[in-house]
Chain A
Amino acid sequence: NAGVTQTPKFRILKIGQSMTLQCAQDMNHNYMYWYRQDPGMGLKLIYYSVGAGITDKGEVPNGYNVSRSTTEDFPLRLELAAPSQTSVYFCASSKTGFTGELFFGEGSRLTVL
């Protein structure tokens, strides 16, 4: 099984550019999440989804958007990239929500210059 697949692994953006981080899972999980991880910090929740067509804000949603048109895919969009969005982004999925094992992707490292 591929598990959770994120693309791209690395990306450099200029301030003001837009991009989409892709995330796909093949475990038929209803719950999907986007986290960001800054150096020396734990993971911060950006957005999450409890099923296709349903999304909700996490702790740090400003500057991001998500959609969940299928169970498998949960893309994260940055509309106007800012240096503060330089981070490592992790997508995750789970079967039972926040009280259960989250399966993480390998991460996408984004640098905004």
Chain B
Amino acid sequence: GESVGLHLPTLSVQEGDNSIINCAYSNSASDYFIWYKQESGKGPQFIIDIRSNMDKRQGQRVTVLLNKTVKHLSLQIAATQPGDSAVYFCAENINTDKLIFGTGTRLQVFP
């Protein structure tokens, strides 16, 4: 498969630890945010989303936190597993007609 994001920021964690991936967004008018996971050679897969009227949302082993004051979004993965190794993208929606993707963070999980 292809390798995308050859020079991405990388987060290395040990299996079983918690991971925190951060994202700074650009537009204070953004009202919807979404995290995608992209494994090597595959298309992005939806993880979790959050609207601007919330500051926290939980899924299965994942939590997204939104801090509108500093325009910061984070994805927390509990008990990180080798299958979590991938590139993670945040995206922001502006006025429902545009979805702007960040450049991504590579997560590497070591045994």
Chain A residues engaging chain B, CB cutoff 8 angstroms = 4, 37, 39-45, 59, 88, 90, 92, 97-107, 109
Q: State the majority secondary structure of interface residues on B.
A: loop
Asked if B96 and A107 sit within 8 Å, CB to CB, the answer is no
New A-B pairs, 15, CB < 8 Å, besides A41-B103, A42-B91, A43-B101: A39-B5, A39-B6, A40-B5, A40-B6, A40-B8, A42-B89, A44-B101, A45-B98, A59-B98, A90-B44, A98-B97, A99-B32, A101-B49, A103-B46, A105-B43
User: Given A99-B32, A109-B2, A43 and B96 touching (CB < 8 A)?
Assistant: no
Contact assessment for B93 and A99 in the assembled complex, using a CB-CB cutoff below 8 Å: yes
B32 and A42 form a contact (CB under 8 A): no
Give the number of A-B contacts (CB < 8 Å): 63
Whole-angstrom CA separation of A99 from B100 in the bound complex:
12
Does A98 contact B99, Cβ atoms closer than 8 Å? yes
In the complex, which residue of chain B has the Cβ closest to the Cβ of A33? B99
Which chain B residues border A44 with CB–CB below 8 Å? Answer: 101
A37-B6 Cα distance, complex, nearest whole Å:
12
Q: Are B89 and A92 in contact (CB under 8 A)?
A: no
Q: Which of A37, A90, A98 contacts B96 (CB 8 A)?
A: A98
In angstroms, Cα B89 to Cα A32, docked, is 20
Q: Does B41 contact A (CB under 8 A)?
A: yes
* A104-B43 contact given A40-B103, A88-B2, CB 8 Å threshold: yes
Chain A residues within an 8 Å CB radius of B4: 37, 39, 88
CB atoms of A104 and B41 under 8 A apart? no
In the complex, the answer to whether A97 meets B103 with C-beta atoms within 8 Å is: no
Per-position 1/0 for B25-44, Cβ under 8 A of A: 00000001010000001111
**What are 25 inter-chain pairs, A to B, with CB distance below 8 A?**
A39-B7, A40-B5, A40-B103, A42-B102, A44-B101, A88-B4, A90-B43, A92-B43, A98-B32, A98-B93, A98-B96, A98-B98, A99-B93, A100-B49, A101-B34, A102-B44, A102-B46, A102-B99, A104-B43, A104-B44, A105-B43, A106-B41, A106-B42, A107-B2, A107-B43
With a CB–CB cut-off of 8 A, which chain A residues contact B100? 42
